[in-house]
A and B are shown apart, each in its own frame.
Chain A
Amino acid sequence: MSSPEQPSLSNQQSADSEKTTHFGYQTVDKGDKESKVAGVFHSVAAQYDVMNDLMSFGIHRLWKRFTIDASGVRPGNKVLDLAGGTGDLTAKFSKLVGREGKVILADINSSMLNVGRDKLRDKGLVQNIEYVQANAQYLPFEDNTFDVITIAFGLRNVTDKDMALRSMYRVLKPGGRLLVLEFSKPEHDIINKVYDFYSFNILPKIGDIVAKDGESYQYLAESIRMHPDQETLKGMMDDAGFEQTSYKNLTDGVVALHKGYKF
């Protein structure tokens, strides 16, 4: 098993200090993480969808469908698809909220947003979608605006996750729900080992061949390992003010969907 050594828990905690945070397995200044993450996504944006299908063997589509089914979205709802990237969730939400509803596709990265906008327009989805370049930590929306907020495979790239969760809580309407779809910790050790081997040995090679950028996919693997596990993230959501928080492991916990309400 040739996976790079993961920093110990104490190192992770010290990495998330006042001034520093982690970027994959590296410890970087908080101010630098944003630009480093931006570099990764500017680089992979064009091949993002193809890579998602290749890396997950298409299962990411089912994870996203699971998120849609858990959203309880209704016609007329206002939905924020945060870190929405190439707009997979936005496309479905746009159809489900109907003409009376609205979906905001927000992403901090302009390249991802451009790819998403082009893709959705090509599909003829224009009437109820807005595009906003926004940092999840400082959401540029009024308090109590959205019925549903989703962030799929985005939270781990955010510099200050607690701050982002508080920001999401602020813009969510009372009665609204937050859904966080993110890579997590597999439940079984054997799956964990296979997953580690795949992530650190095969995934960067696929990235190198398809997206001509193995380093970005090395970061992806490292950032997944540095992301809080299921229980920790649930606790972070509780701390941000969300109520009735819960999570559901998908594909043995490779991915988890966290859900929380604002009352």
Chain B
Amino acid sequence: MHQQALCALLETTINKVLALNVDDLGALLPLEQKTLTVQLAELAFPLSFSVDQQQILVTSLTERSDCQLTSSIASLIALQKEQQITELIKQDKLELSGDIKVAQQFSALFENLAIDWQSELAVHIGDIPTYKLSQFSLWLGDKVKFATKQISADASEWLVHEKRLVVTRSQINSFNRQVTTIDDEVQSLQARVERLADKLSATAKSPTSQI
């Protein structure tokens, strides 16, 4: 019954998220009575998403599918961008059968989600705590970004200069240039050797050498 538990969890989460969509002006209307069946490489069972009366129903039924999509979770994340569909099909990361428009509409639905998290949070904890929390998260975000940049720079410095475990890009480029020069010289030497070998074999075949 794991699949039923997953379906129930997905159904509740998706409908809750869709209910928070501030741009929801009948976002589900074009998909009314349509079903998209997704077969993920990571799951042993299909997931069918059916739209009825502005709600999404998640089941493992495959009988009523308008479009079947076979893919993996990673490809599905890439599918958030609608224009990625063709590219993923070309790369054999996505198989589609049925009405492709249904898959595109589902993809567009999640791409166009606009949720005002601050308003939603304010309903539960109040305006001032929400403001404080959002300021704190912005400050924390900046700090994390700065720390990540700093740690990355320090680590690079330590690995390249202190421990000499990694070489710099300019060193790699210089090494590549040297390899190319040697390659050229080896090629010209090889050509010279071949020319000398030809000359030697020609001398060996001449009449004077037979006497």
Contact = CB atoms under 8 A, between A and B. Distances in A.
Nearest to A250: B1
Contact of A65 (B7, B33, B63): B7
Given A62-B1, A92-B57, A98 B33 contact: yes
Interface stretch (B48-56, B139-147, B166-174, B180-188): B48-56
Given A65-B59, A68-B61, A74-B63, A98 B4 contact: no
Contact of A95 (B3, B7, B57): B57
Interface centre among A65, A68, A251 (most CB of B within 10 A): A65
A66 B53 contact: no
B21 interface: no
A69 interface: yes
A72 B61 contact: yes
B8 A62 contact: yes
A183 to B, nearest CB: 16
B33 A61 contact: no
Contacts of B60: 69
Contacts of A251: 1
B59 A66 contact: no
A71 B5 CA distance: 17
Contacts of A68: 59, 61
Contacts of A71: 61
Nearest to A58: B8
Interface in B16-32: none
A209 to B, nearest CB: 27
A175 to B, nearest CB: 13
Contact of A73 (B1, B8, B52, B61): B61
A193 interface: no
Contact of A96 (B1, B5, B8, B50): B50
Nearest to A61: B8
Report the contact-size class of chain B (Cβ under 8 Å from the partner): 10 to 19
Contacts of A140: none
Given A72-B63, A124-B53, A66 B1 contact: yes
Contacts of B1: 59, 62-63, 65-66, 250-251
A63 B1 CA distance: 8
Contacts, number: 51
A95 B50 contact: yes
B149 interface: no
Contacts of A4: none
Given A69-B4, A251-B1, A74 B64 contact: yes
Contacts of B5: 62
A253 B8 CA distance: 21
A63 B3 CA distance: 11
A121 interface: no
Interface string A66-80: 101101111100000
Interface centre among A59, A69, A124 (most CB of B within 10 A): A69
Interface of B: 1, 3-5, 7-8, 33, 50, 52-53, 55, 57, 59-61, 63-64
Given A71-B61, A96-B61, A96-B64, 12 more contacts: A61-B8, A63-B1, A65-B1, A66-B4, A68-B59, A69-B7, A69-B60, A73-B63, A75-B64, A92-B57, A95-B50, A98-B33
19 contacts: A59-B1, A62-B1, A62-B5, A63-B1, A65-B8, A68-B59, A69-B4, A69-B59, A69-B61, A71-B61, A72-B61, A75-B33, A95-B53, A96-B50, A96-B59, A98-B33, A98-B52, A124-B53, A251-B1
